[in-house]
Amino acid sequence: MVLVVSISNMHYYACEHCLYLYRELETAESCEQWCKTHNSCNSKILEKSVGRIRRYRTARLEEVFPSR
């Protein structure tokens, strides 16, 4: 199930398997579909990722955007 993460009033979508974060729900869904089927990540989908969360319940801005 795709996770919804809200950061600074913006919503992002994370793949529950790999915890990579996407702006588009459809991208997160295709990532999750791929992860489930192949048990690994699709590099084409990962290119669209905006970051990665470690634990979604405690996701903070610096966890998602470590470069800031």
Judged by the rule CB under 5 A, the positions of this chain that interact with Zn ion are: 15, 17-18, 31, 35
Strands (E), 1-68: 3-7, 10-14, 20-22, 51-52
Local structure of residue 56 (DSSP, 8 states)? G
Of 5 and 35, nearer to Zn ion (C-beta) is 35
**Least distance to Zn ion from the beta carbon of 32, Å?**
5
**Least distance to Zn ion from the beta carbon of 67, Å?**
21
Of 15 and 59, nearer to Zn ion (C-beta) is 15
User: Residue for token digits 């997160």?
Assistant: 28
Residues in CB range of 7: below 8 A, 6 or more apart: 59, 61, 64
Of 17 and 48, nearer to Zn ion (C-beta) is 17
